[in-house]
Structure 1
Amino acid sequence: MRDSSSTRASAGAAAGSETRGSRHDEAGWEAQPFAERHIGPREADVAEMLATLGFQSLDELTEAAIPPEIRLERPLQLPPARTEAEVLECLRQRASRNRVFRSYIGLGYYDCITPPVIQRNILENPGWYTAYTPYQSEISQGRLEALLNFQTMVRDLTGLEIANASLLDEATAAAEAMMMCHRLRGGPERNRFFVAADCHPQTIAVVQTRARALGIQVVCSDVGAVGLDGSFFGALVQYPATDGAVRDYRAFAEAVHAVGALLVAATDLLALTLLPPPGAWGADVAVGSAQRLGVPLFYGGPHAAFLATRDAFKRQMPGRLVGISRDARGRPALRLALGTREQHIRREKATSNICTAQALLAIVAAAYAVYHGPHGLRRIALRIHKLTRALALGLERLGYEVRPRPSGGDPTRSGATPLPFFDTITVTVSPAQAAAIHARATEHGMNFRRVNDTTIGLSLDETTTPQDVREIWQVFHDDRPVDFAVQELLPGLDESRLRPMDYLQHPVFHRYHSETELLRYLRRLESRDFSLCQTMIPLGSCTMKLNPTAALMPVTWPEFARLHPFVPLEQARGYHELMEELKQWLSEITGFPAISLQPNAGSQGEYAGLLVIRAWHEHRGEGHRDVCLIPTSAHGTNPASAAMAGLKVVAVACDRQGNVDLEDLRAKAQAHRDRLACLMVTYPSTHGVFEPGIRQICRIVHEHGGLVYMDGANLNAQVGLCRPADLGADVCHVNLHKTFAIPHGGGGPGAGPIGVAEFLREFLPDHPLMPGARRPARGVGPVSAAPWGSAGILLISWAYIALMGANGLRRASQVAILNANYISRRLESCYPTLYKGPAGLVAHECILDLRRFHHITAEDVAKRLMDYGFHAPTLSWPVAGTLMVEPTESESKAELDRFCDAMKAIHEEILAVETGRMDARDNPLKNAPHTADMVAADTWPHAYSREQAAFPVASLREHKWWPAVARVDNVYGDRHPVCACGSVADFAADP
């Protein structure tokens, strides 16, 4: 135990760490810098790798790789690096400045209980949070099964036929649903979308932002006041409504369908354990948030949203969809299905620009449903509703007018809603009463929703107790205890009128209700999955680096995890101090003076940045500028985001070296000079090189009236070495889940803040519920449901930058470049690097060319790497028939060598096939990956040995990680789409 003097010393060190370096001990020796723990190669390794490349120092290497005119010639102006202990102590101090009140605000955000077995074994477990998007399905079966559970849960509770594997938040899910309806039913004469006025205000605002960019007219009014006609393609209602009312929408659904439109219901999964599901009363699409199913509030995010719809519309669904297919042996196997990655294929014609979803949070919500099962979820929902009903009846006893009335609807009416409300009520008061009640609530550590000057909203949740209800009554009763009890008001609910328990009938929701069973189930799923806990994940453009444990630890501290996003700012001072510092640091790193933290994914950052550019043109009277130039090498999300922002995409060619073709760019810019809005460009390029002409590229666009949007996916090669703003960019998004150490979480969460030039500051995203904060003068509107996006994980990037400091960040970029060039050089005789810069160097990633082989494909190599214990690099993107490798700075020389040795051994196998020494069809590459049961089977029908299949290098005999299934048949899965675990009776059976 530390004594008081050591406590004071630690506090002083944290307080002073912004002005001095790492903590010193009494002998005067500095503590070991965190950067030495983060960066993989040791000093001797770096020297050896540099010698392989022919350089004397990291500075010499990066000077050769980076064009001289764009190099940053001064150190980043950041605080000195801190130790892990100092960072954690500072975060403890900041956490203490947040005040965790009991929240009754509602608006789609609820406090909840994360079962400890789920918190420890999923949310805080690197085996789950360091995995990548499951594009290589054979080594992602555990995560895919968990996401299939999520889809099944959503499908069952909404009463619709198919659900996706999560979206970003409820508001953007509603916007995606609007776009989906427009694709299905919209047209030149059908361009209006109805939004019920009693939807959550943040949902209305995000839908309006999305609609404005696409020229869709949003009509917002009461359901009973709208006159639907053939000009409407869709409608959105909230069920239950933001005021708590549970309305019967059957007649409205019939009216929507009568004019040929589609109906979207924004709904609450927990309420649907009691209420008739949207699919039963006519909704075509259901959206919402799964946050209250065990996911902390996190001051607004990250949270998993969902979208469910009818089977006929599945090919127009946005986001990811997990489906059941079969592997090479005909056994069930999971994979991402249908249009999951179509934004990379269809570009501007994609159904969505979503790349990062919220996989980790969806998995938590699914595990919550598995743990509680249908009976447990219903029990939680009934308890919440009964306490809400008691609260309403008690307030009526105190003389207040409560809406909706707790007596409910007409029970004699067939099909009427069984409950007047679920968890939310509003109370009518005078302005003076409202001020006094809110003041007393603050004294009691409570937050009520301030609907307006005469209406107070109250929403209960899983954490609410009878004592909480009595305290709420006391606050409304002039701070005097009431003379009645909660128990007196609980009877009277006719449970026979509630929804029958026709959901979650699959065995997976009935089997794991003890902690022992759930623990073993989660461990079994984890063992069928691949993460950074196993080996490096060398995915190009994805930056799978170390996610520091110290940076992850504070995320689930209650002071950060239990804050509602709409609390008064004075209750979140610690958060805002951190976020302001993070914005200052990102501003220094990127060179942009203005930063918005609201975008909650890289794709949302792209979209927000383009909206800012459009708003600037409109403000200058040039709203007609709607052409976006995009190189053919760009990320597929770029053209998809441009289309969402209402821009017309014009492709720009690349030259033989993979760089933007300057002549083609100049010609396209000239041809569209009157309508040119912007260029979207990635730097270093998507082909993995520092293009020498980047400043000329920016200059050409500016000369023709456009702005430059820089995709920040490759920022890990720039930090401390060059800056996007200095290159000539006007806007840039920053993938915090890449460069700044937020883990990928198996496909999300992500965060995509944007930086903009000073003249664009006033156009940054705003938010209608940003409490007391200064909003941009001409903000483009909200792009996320919460004002500060996924605030809960911004702590990770803050901690990472604080731990690394300016010198550590610069060295990380240098070593990332070193590692990529080392791999490129070691493998050049087997797999030549497709594109290099003028000095024969790459940036932080390299594209290995496999197109010269006749019988073996890049996919074969990707699958064979699994047998060697590696996750494959990025497959056939941005160039078909290649592998794009990004090792990051975190990987040691030993791990890089192990990867290179594996790739060289695979090359020998390729040569054996190419020269006829192995059969062109029956060989270790075509049959990869090899599972344990394949190798242990009684018969072995192959010409090569079991040893070569499973243990191609000696090190695998010491430790072998086995793929869960053989190669998955993607074509079969798309031709026979099954996307819920209830459709295959034995799928969830114990292996």
Structure 2
Amino acid sequence: MDLNTSLSSLNTNSEFTGRHIGPTPAEQQEMLQTLGFSNFEELMTKVVPKTIFSNAKLDVGDGISEFEILAQLKKTVSENKVFRSLIGIGFHDTITPSPILRNVFENPVWYTAYTPYQPEISQGRLESLLNFQTMITDLTGMEISNASLLDEGTAAAEALVMAHSLCKKKDCNAFVVHPQAHPHVLEVLKTRSEPLGLEMIIADPTTYDFKKEIFAAIFQYPTTEGTVEDYKAIAAKLHDHGALVVASVDLLALTLLTPPGEWGADIVVGNSQRFGVPLGFGGPHAAFLATKDAYKRSFPGRLVGVSVDSHGKKALRLTLQTREQHIRREKATSNICTAQVLLANMAAMYGVYHGPNGLKKIALRTHRLTQLAVAGLEKLGFKTTTTQFFDTVKIKTDKTASIVAAAEKLEINLRVYNDGVGFSINETCNHQLIEDLLTAFNGGQALSFKLADLEAGLKNQWNKEFVRTSDFMTHTTFNRYHSETELMRYIYQLQNKDVTLTHSMIPLGSCTMKLNAATELIPVSWPEINKIHPFAPSNQTQGYQKLIKDLEAKLCAITGFAAVSLQPNSGAQGEYAGLLVIREYFKARNESHRNVCLIPSSAHGTNPASAALAGFQVVVTACDENGNVDLADLKAKAELHKDKLAAMMVTYPSTHGIFEEAITDICEVIHKYGGQVYMDGANLNALVGVAQPGKFGPDVSHMNLHKTFAIPHGGGGPGVGPIGVGAHLAPYLPKHSLVKEAGPSTGVSSTTSAPWGSASILPISWSYITMMGAAGLKQATMTSILSANYIAKKLAPHYPIVYKGKEGLVAHECIIDIRPLKKSHEIDVNDIAKRLMDFGFHAPTMSWPVIGTLMIEPTESESKRELDRFCEAMIQIRKEADACPDVIRNAPHTAEALLATEWNHKYTREVAAYPASWVKTNKYWPPVGRVDNAYGDKNIVCSCPPLDSYQ
């Protein structure tokens, strides 16, 4: 490049691709030569089967610059109207404290972390999640809570299935739901219960006659219309009949109301969204499930517990860690894989920042403003339906249309009923809002009275049994960090304990920990994106509608499918939704008898769990010695079940990280017998731009936006798992009863609370695709495949590669075998994982899909230098196994252990701390030694106090 370079060649449209992809073109060429290839085309012809390879340019645009994407997106979302939302229904505007916004929500140390399966390098976020669990148990009055679930509707559905699994009454399949539950909760319960053969009875449990035996009753507390009801007597009656009591609650209300644990609830669910997490057009938000300690081995989701490390020091870990679906598979009662960890941490920090007194103040102010509004309405001649309310009221009126129109002129959104109008007050509201609200009820005319004159008459109107008398959040953590200085230091104290993408590559196979670019994430903080209610009128969400339609079109262009639904808010939710679509398709064809789902033995545990939850009978098919689907066994089982065959679930590229040559044959076998092919899209990062599943056989596939399309993992969530389908399945994509634009009228009922799931993070994937463009996306795929094969080549002399394709190559990940090392040196995958911490690396995926192996996925974002560092660490560990195996077995080495007066090891302190020269320049110190998993599972403690109280 010189001063005569033409303007056209200085175009910055493709600049982002070079920022996103780690190896430079020169380094890519060097890596190709290491593998024996002169260019990418040679590599791809050897890796991707000719039967599926596509060289067609994707119709997603040519890529634009980071500067342009922000301007373009701002223009689009500016078509959204950010009104003051009083719609409620479980979603409330909230104030995200600035130190939490800046230091957690917008901080890559918190949003690029992976699920804390390696606890020694996850102590910070584990402590924050322990705070979340403690906050939830204290507020709900329960004994134990998880951290966390996806949304309120799916949390209620998880509670439902859990209650049914705990039921001791044989063949009892009916449950009662209060008709005043939130509409989206009712809809998700309907979706979940029907395939499982559970009967949903919508009736007031307080008047239920028990003529039909039930296993559970579900209450909304307060009700969706705002009423606070006394459930103590009916809870006791339900228990007498052997039924469990489930409460779906408002967390802020519980600072003032008697917690459900004190009136008889067995399971409590809800959403922590109003604890500082933006509305975001429906998500992501961290839901929760709290229950009795006796049920801890039956409940879904992740549970943080207290254990000890190898030095006897208290350490945190995910207790009962092995996910249920991997153990029980089709017998699992939950397919939960992703949580909402980033949002749970935000809610936890909100609780820490405000403390119990601050939360109670916010709740009381919210309640007082609601009372003030009600007093004003009475002055105007309106009557509310109840005197026992927290923040939500309903007014029966025949003036709904004029009131709503007047409110919209004042930029206020109200909730509309068939027989009236309602509103929910939140912490962002003030006196001006109340005055504007009352003005809307007054036909847009100025009020004839002053609010100040009404305030003196406000006093408690609750029955005494509703008033909370028990303390909550008494632990020091919730009563210490109330200044910004203190909170900022606490946040940084925690984050300094964790390894994230800000430190080094996270080479987890099947998890695709790629770059989450700052430019992609900036818009998530814009009010046009994060202050929109999920049920706002459609004329206020036109920017979102455009973005959603364009993202759906781009995903269709990438995958070759005819239609896409963005509703599923995790990969496992995508599996579940995709299978429900197949089920609905057969129902429409009067073939409901088709209920057999074939699943290879190598499948991710969520596959059979999702199939069981969708009402399918799982039949396992074999894999051959190379990890491929055994075609002969598949044909035999498809033939055997041909009259009932509904579907097959297949991961592609395979769970073993290779492109199976027979994928088109597999699809043909299933189609021959009238079944549908579901493709698990976990490994889509190896297909984008080079093969389209919608064209080579599968009928439906989910796409992990938190893997392939750059949404960050956030310490274990959020995730998004939209599904793409063929044209014949498009009419059955999920819909939503509250938003007609959210799906086809003939579709399955909603699988999530919000119509487009975790909508506020969709701009991340849209920005990624739009900036990369067709050429950039293809380059990313080819580079991820190149990097995986480069690592396999470098590590092969030291560790056997378990599976390879017919040309001796892998896809975008490789599996190395540690079993020979276990046999010869008594060193296993866990030992290597812990020693990698001394190098500053997170371990690859351990013992999955093959016990005793490590699955490595480098992604396209890691530079050659970082790949070489990782390979050097792995090679050094293999040498240590021969020279000094104890240094591996004793890992990780903490600073405290290295500074101890006594040192009785055969290796030096320097070898322990600095196993490679480059470690010294940016040393990460594990805060605890190796955590004792068995101790943690036997001695389950799942709430504060945090670690410092033990020392």
Residue in structure 2 matched with residue 786 of structure 1 by the alignment: 754
Displacement of 1:73 after TM fit?
A: 2.8
For 1:988 and 1:307, the matched residues in 2 are separated by 27
Q: 1:943 aligns with which of 906, 909, 927?
A: 906
1:229 and 1:259 in contact (8 A); partners too: no
Q: Is the Cα–Cα contact under 8 Å of residues 929 and 966 in structure 1 kept in the other structure?
A: yes
Q: Which residue does 1:467 correspond to in 2?
A: 432
1:315 aligned counterpart, secondary structure: coil
What displacement does 1:517 show? Answer: 0.2
Worse-matched range after superposition: 942-951 or 707-716:
942-951
| Paired AA for residue 611 in structure 1 | L
Q: 1:229 to 1:134 in 2, by over 3 A?
A: farther
| Candidates 681, 684, 704, aligned match of 2:650 | 681
Following superposition, the deviation at residue 29 of structure 1 comes to 1.9
> Partner letter of residue 442 of structure 1?
E
Shift of 1:226: 2.3
* Cα pair 2:206 2:231 within 8 Å, conserved: no
Distance in 2 between residues matched to 1:357 and 1:703, nearest whole Å = 38
C-alpha distance in 1 between matches for 2:55 and 2:750: 37
C-alpha separation in 2, matches of 1:987 and 1:158 = 24
2:860 is aligned with 1:889: yes
Structure 2 counterpart of 1:730, from 696, 699, 705: 699
After superposition, the Cα gap between the structure-2 partners of 1:508 and 1:229, relative to the gap in structure 1 and judged at 3 Å, is farther
**Alignment partner, residue 435 of structure 1:** 401
Once the two structures are superposed, residues 687-735 of structure 1 have per-residue CA deviations (whole angstroms, 9 ceiling, x without a partner) of 0000000000011111122110000000000000001112200000000
- SS at 2:923's partner residue? coil
What root-mean-square deviation, in Å, do the aligned CA atoms of Structure 1 and Structure 2 show?
1.4
Corresponding position of 2:120:
138
135, 157, 169: which one pairs with 1:175?
157
Question: How many angstroms apart in 2 are the aligned matches of 1:693 and 1:327?
Answer: 47
- Which residue in the other structure is 1:20 paired with? none
Residue 250 of structure 2 contacts residue 271 of structure 2 at CA under 8 Å; is this kept in 1?
A: yes
> Does the Cα contact within 8 Å between 2:499 and 2:840 map onto a contact in 1?
no
Deviation of the 1:493 alpha carbon: 2.5
* 2:422 corresponds to: 457
Native 8 Å contact 1:508 1:988 kept in 2? no
1:987 and 2:950 correspond: no
- Equivalent residues of 1:147, 1:362 under 8 A apart: yes
Cα deviation 1:501-528 (Å, max 9, x = unaligned): 5100010000100000000000000001
Equivalence map 1:641-680=2 (5 Å): 641-680=610-649
Deviations 1:826-876 (A, max 9, x none): 000111110000000000000001111221001100111000110000000
User: Residue 493 of structure 1 corresponds to which residue in structure 2?
Assistant: 459
C-alpha contact (below 8 Å) 2:507/2:844 kept by paired residues: yes
Give the drift of 1:136.
0.5
TM-score by length of 1: 0.93
**Partner of 2:93: helix, strand, or coil?**
coil
- Which residue of the partner structure matches residue 105 of structure 2? 123
In the aligned structure 2, how far is the partner of 1:372 from the partner of 1:964?
A: 28
- 1:15 is aligned to none
Determine the C-alpha separation between the residues in 1 that align with 2:718 and 2:611.
22
* Letter of the structure 2 residue corresponding to residue 910 of structure 1: A
Q: Does 1:956 align with 2:919?
A: yes
> Pick from 777, 784, 791: which aligns with 1:823?
791
Q: Secondary structure at 1:427's aligned position in 2?
A: strand
Post-superposition Cα deviations, 1:733-775, rounded to whole Å, max 9, x if no partner, equal: 00000000000000000000000111111111111111x5264
Supply the AA of the counterpart residue of 1:550.
T
Q: What is the DSSP-based 3-state SS (H/G/I as helix, E as strand, rest coil) of the residue aligned with 1:852?
A: helix
Number of residue-to-residue matches in the alignment: 939
Distance 2:103 2:841 in 1: 23
Deviation at 1:351, TM superposition (A): 3.2
Q: State yes or no: 1:43 paired with 2:28.
A: no
Q: Equivalent residue for 2:446?
A: 481
Q: Distance in 2 between matches of 1:908 and 1:68?
A: 40
- TM-score between the two structures when normalised by the length of structure 2: 0.97
* 2:590 corresponds to: 621
Q: Distance in 2 between matches of 1:379 and 1:583?
A: 43
The answer to whether the 8 Å contact 2:205/2:217 transfers is: no
Partner of 1:29: 10
State the SS of the aligned residue for 1:746: coil
User: In the alignment, what sits opposite 1:707?
Assistant: 676
Deviations 1:227-248 (CA, angstroms, capped at 9, x unpaired): 2256200010000000000000
Report the alpha carbon displacement of residue 494 of structure 1 after superposing the two structures with TM.
Answer: 4.1
- Is 1:236 the equivalent of 2:236? no
8 Å contact kept, 1:230–1:260: no
Helix, strand or coil at the partner of 2:63: coil
Measure the CA separation in 1 of the matches of 2:579 and 2:168: 24
1:327 paired with 2:309, answer yes
State whether residues 736 and 742 of structure 2, in contact with CA within 8 Å, keep that contact through their aligned partners in structure 1.
Answer: no
Could you tell me how far 1:673 is from its partner in structure 2? 1.1
CA deviation profile, 1:335-378 (whole Å, cap 9, x unmatched): 01115522222212223111111000000000000000000000
Instruction: Determine helix, strand or coil for the equivalent of 1:958.
Output: helix
Bigger mean CA deviation after superposition, 239-248 or 227-236: 227-236
Structure 2 letter corresponding to 1:901 = E
Match of 2:562 among 575, 593, 615: 593
Describe the superposition over 1:95-136 as per-residue Cα deviations: whole angstroms up to 9, x where unpaired: 211100000100000000000000000000000000000000
Which residue type is aligned with residue 167 of structure 1? L
> What residue number does 2:194 align with?
212
Moved more, 545-554 or 492-501: 492-501
The one-character-per-residue Cα deviations of 1:878-912 (angstroms, maximum 9, x if unpaired) are: 00000000000000000000000000000001123
Aligned equivalent of 1:350, options 329, 332, 355: 332
Measured against aligned partners, the alpha-carbon deviations of 1:650-703 in whole angstroms (never above 9, x if no partner) come to 111110111000011111111111111111000000000000000000111111
The answer to whether residue 664 in structure 2 is matched with residue 695 in structure 1 is yes
SS in 2 for 1:68: coil
- In structure 2, stretches of 5+ residues that fail to align are none
Q: Does 1:509 align with 2:478?
A: yes
Report what 2:939 is aligned to. Answer: 976
Indicate conservation of the 8 Å contact 1:323/1:337, yes or no.
yes
**Alignment match of 1:314 (pick from 286, 296, 299):** 296
What amino acid is aligned across from residue 955 of structure 1 in structure 2? W
What's the CA shift string for 1:430-471, capped at 9, x where partnerless?
A: 1xx11111111111101000122x310110000000111011
Q: Which amino acid aligns with 1:909?
A: E
Give 5+ residue unaligned stretches, structure 1: 1-23, 406-419, 913-917
C-alpha change, 1:179 and 1:477, in structure 2 (3 Å) is same
Q: Distance in 2 between matches of 1:810 and 1:358?
A: 30
Aligned pair in 2 of structure 1 residues 722, 742: CA closer, same or farther (>3 Å)? same
Match of residue 248 from structure 1: 230
Moved more, 611-620 or 715-724: 611-620
The residue type paired with residue 439 of structure 1 is A
1:485 and 1:354 map into 2 onto residues whose CA distance is: 52
Structure 1 counterpart of 2:144: 162
Matches within 5 A, 1:396-435: 396-405=378-387, 420-430=388-398, 433-435=399-401
Do 2:735 and 2:742's aligned partners in 1 also have CA atoms closer than 8 Å?
A: no
Indicate the larger mover: 521-530 or 180-189.
180-189
For residues 244 and 761 of structure 2, the distance between their equivalents in structure 1, rounded to whole angstroms, comes to 36
Instruction: Describe the shift of the 1:163–1:988 C-alpha distance in structure 2 as closer, same or farther (beyond 3 A).
Output: farther
Q: Determine the structure 2 residue equivalent to 1:873.
A: 844
| SS of 1:629 mapped into structure 2 | strand
* Conservation of the 8 A alpha-carbon contact between 1:273 and 1:501: no
For the pair 1:749 / 2:718, whether they are aligned, the reply is yes
- Measured against aligned partners, the alpha-carbon deviations of 1:6-64 in whole angstroms (never above 9, x if no partner) come to xxxxxxxxxxxxxxxxxx99676212521011000011111111011000111110111
Structure 2: distance between partners of 1:300 and 1:624: 36
* Separation in structure 1 between the aligned mates of residue 882 and residue 643 of structure 2, nearest angstrom: 54
Equivalent of 1:796 in 764, 776, 780: 764
Contact 1:228 1:256 in 2 (8 A): no
The whole-number CA distance in structure 2 between the counterparts of 1:652 and 1:95 is 47
Q: Which secondary structure does the structure 1 equivalent of 2:488 belong to?
A: helix
1:841 aligns with 2:809: yes
* Contact persistence 2:61–2:770 (CA under 8 A): yes
Q: Does 1:74 align with 2:56?
A: yes
Residues in 2 aligned to 1:339 and 1:41: alpha-carbon distance in whole angstroms: 36
AA matched with 2:563: A
